[in-house]
Structure 1
Amino acid sequence: MSMSGAARNALRAGTVLVVFAVVGTAMLAFTHGRTEPVIARSRQAEQLAFIEQVLPSRLYDNDLLASERRVPRDAMLGTRRPSAVWVARRGDAFAGVVLEAVAPDGYSGDIGLLVGIDAAGTVTGVRVTGHRETPGLGDYIDRAKSPWIEQFTGKSLDNPPPRAWRVAKDGGTFDTRAGATITPRAVVKAVRGALEYFARHRKTLAAPVTREEKDA
């Protein structure tokens, strides 16, 4: 039985669509393969620059990005899923960590943080990695908007004393802006929590990574 003109046209159109789909998929795969390494390197550079803002590079000589470990979710870190920790070393000596933390009680939701802590348990820097706080009111926690976050540098669990780990409005050490205290309260609590986490897990964090852990 001969094929009708309509059927031939439908077959031809279907073949063209299949060819276009195959070619398009191949082009997307090729483009992804070429650009993915570039994007990955860019992300790594950006991540390292961010990390170096909270843990000065003079404190360590290892490859900090390669030192990344995953730790289980923990209430002291405010995390609801496994998070990252980067372990700094100078020679064979433990030099400090950079912890991912979350302030879950910000005015507009979660506030992501990176907290650098040296081997002695002193904060070397804090940066906000993500937030939805009100522009012009609560967003001064962002270092790009204000130096407010710098006041955590040099602080530890005992400096200031525990009762002073509060915003000034609550009788504590940390300054705030009028009309925007919920956000800084959340950040102060989260940084304190990160220090408590470090103190509790310092021995584990300072231990060298085993070959089994590296291969995991």
Structure 2
Amino acid sequence: MREIIKLGLILLIITSVAGLILGITNDITQEIIQERALEETREALVTLLPEAEEFDIIEEAELLDRRFIQEIYSGSKNGEIVGYTIKVNPQGYDGRIEMLVGISSEGTITGVKIGDHTETPGLGSKIADASYIDQFVDRGTEEEFISTLGGETGEQYIEAISGATVSSDAVVDGVNSARSLFVEELQDR
């Protein structure tokens, strides 16, 4: 009995010390992780709105309460807004998909960048491929986009990835959410 108590106390001490070390390590690295995430976001903003020199976050609650909207950035050059980058997180097949959607002040989609996601590797993960994402680039924001597998043509149709329609639909939902926010709230600012 005494041996079991002794082993239990040793195990308790070892796990307590390990937990303390992990906690300290987490506190030290958390700031570095946040700095890297901010730098990655900054790089993505520049990629999606290359003509912008400055980016300011918009923190208006009524804008952030909309479906899928996470963050909104205005991009400006010489004090004039040249576009917006909107971070959305639609529900994909296997979880939320983090995305950034760039829209010029004229109402043209300048790009879409897929961030963190848990879509099926090799199938749903194809949503991040340029061949899929580039379908949105240089399209207007007048109409909602529609995901299709039938090969329909037109400004509003986006060809879905065969076998990954849920993931494709999620990306279209995310872009439509950003598009809707732009048309209804940001376009006339």
TM-score by length of structure 1 reads: 0.64
In structure 2, the partner of 1:96 is 83
Residues 10-34 of structure 1: CA deviation (Å, up to 9, x unaligned): xxxxxxx9xxx9xx89xx59x957x
Q: Equivalent residues in 2 for 1:46-85 (5 A)?
A: 46-56=40-50, 59-62=51-54, 64=55, 67-70=56-59, 71-75=63-67, 78-79=68-69, 83-85=70-72
Matched-pair contact (CA < 8 Å) for 2:147–2:168: no
Report the CA distance between 1:141 and its aligned residue: 0.7
Report the CA distance between 1:110 and its aligned residue: 1.9
Q: Equivalent residues in 2 for 1:28-43 (5 A)?
A: 28=24, 38-43=32-37
In structure 1, the partner of 2:4 is none
What CA distance in whole angstroms lies between the structure 1 residues aligned with 2:187 and 2:104?
13
Choose the corresponding residue for 2:122, options 136, 153, 161.
Answer: 136
Report the CA distance between 1:109 and its aligned residue: 2.6
In structure 2, the partner of 1:117 is 103
* Alpha-carbon distance change, 165 to 157 in structure 1, aligned in 2, over 3 angstroms: farther
What CA distance in whole angstroms lies between the structure 1 residues aligned with 2:79 and 2:163?
48
Residues 120-171 of structure 1: CA deviation (Å, up to 9, x unaligned): 111111011122111111110124xx5321211111223xx55x63324384
* Alpha-carbon distance change, 169 to 125 in structure 1, aligned in 2, over 3 angstroms: same
What CA distance in whole angstroms lies between the structure 2 residues aligned with 1:42 and 1:117?
24
Residues 35-84 of structure 1: CA deviation (Å, up to 9, x unaligned): 6665544333222112222222xx1222x2xx112242212xx24xxx21
What CA distance in whole angstroms lies between the structure 1 residues aligned with 2:118 and 2:30?
29
In structure 2, the partner of 1:167 is 148
In structure 2, the partner of 1:157 is 141
Query: What code does the residue aligned with 1:89 have?
Result: S
Query: What code does the residue aligned with 2:53 have?
Result: D
Number of paired residues? 166
Query: What code does the residue aligned with 2:47 have?
Result: Q
In structure 1, the partner of 2:161 is 177
In structure 2, the partner of 1:14 is none
Matched-pair contact (CA < 8 Å) for 2:57–2:73: yes
Further displaced range: 42-51 or 118-127:
42-51
- Structure 1 ranges of 4+ moved more than 6 A: none
Secondary structure in 1 matching 2:162:
coil
TM-score by length of structure 2 reads: 0.72
Query: What code does the residue aligned with 2:118 have?
Result: R
Gaps of 5+ in 1: 1-16, 207-216
* Alpha-carbon distance change, 147 to 53 in structure 1, aligned in 2, over 3 angstroms: farther
Report the CA distance between 1:113 and its aligned residue: 1.0
What CA distance in whole angstroms lies between the structure 2 residues aligned with 1:122 and 1:96?
9
* Alpha-carbon distance change, 137 to 73 in structure 1, aligned in 2, over 3 angstroms: same
What CA distance in whole angstroms lies between the structure 1 residues aligned with 2:30 and 2:166?
40
Report the CA distance between 1:193 and its aligned residue: 2.1
